[in-house]
Amino acid sequence: MNPAERVLTLLAEGDQTVAVAESLTGGLVAAELTSVPGASRCFRGSVTAYATELKRDMLGVDADLLADRGAVDPDVALQMAAGVRTRLRAGWGVATTGVAGPEPQDGQPVGTVFVAVCGPSGGPLADGKVVALRLNGDRAEIRRESVRSVLELLADQLSENARAQDTEQNGGN
């Protein structure tokens, strides 16, 4: 089972939904998810916010944060994931931001990527989780690996969330 199939299976098992905010991946995460038959049951939609002002205006990323650190930042990734989750009314939000090349951006070298997941309100991941990646390869390889990484991060968080809920429902046994 590929990462997109795993994510959608886990979402369906929990009757949950996901929304995607993308920058460097330019819609590839959404494309990967929607390539799986039945994705519409769990996939709410996506925002491809390539321009920095769209991250602010459409996803609610803090303007001062963007001005101080630029768009390639772990806190920006978290705010993108939280923003898309809220705006698209999904249980889970995921985000990608980074530098695919060919030139550095915001003082970050090519291959610097941040992927983030924000979970349901009140859950252990409501504040989100971000992973920093240092990827090698050409632009296409960096983008592909970013897609795989964010989907694997979400799948892992969905699995952990399901285990935690199962433990809670069964009295911690």
Task: Give pLDDT tens digits for 54-81.
Answer: 999 999 999 999 999 999 999 999 999 9
Q: Is the pLDDT of residue 26 over 90?
A: yes
Percent helix, strand, coil in the chain, to 5, is: 45, 20, 35
Report the pLDDT value the prediction gives residue 172, as an integer from 0 to 100: 55
Domain range annotation of the chain: 3-138+146-165
Report the pLDDT value the prediction gives residue 121, as an integer from 0 to 100: 76
The beta strand positions in the chain, using DSSP E, are 18-22, 43-48, 92-98, 112-118, 129-134
Q: Of 34-38, 113-117, 159-163, which gets the smallest average pLDDT?
A: 159-163
What would the CATH number be for the domain defined by 3-138+146-165?
Answer: 3.90.950.20
Q: Is the pLDDT of residue 123 over 80?
A: no
- Listing DSSP states for 54-81 in one string gives HHHHHH---HHHHHHH-SSSHHHHHHHH
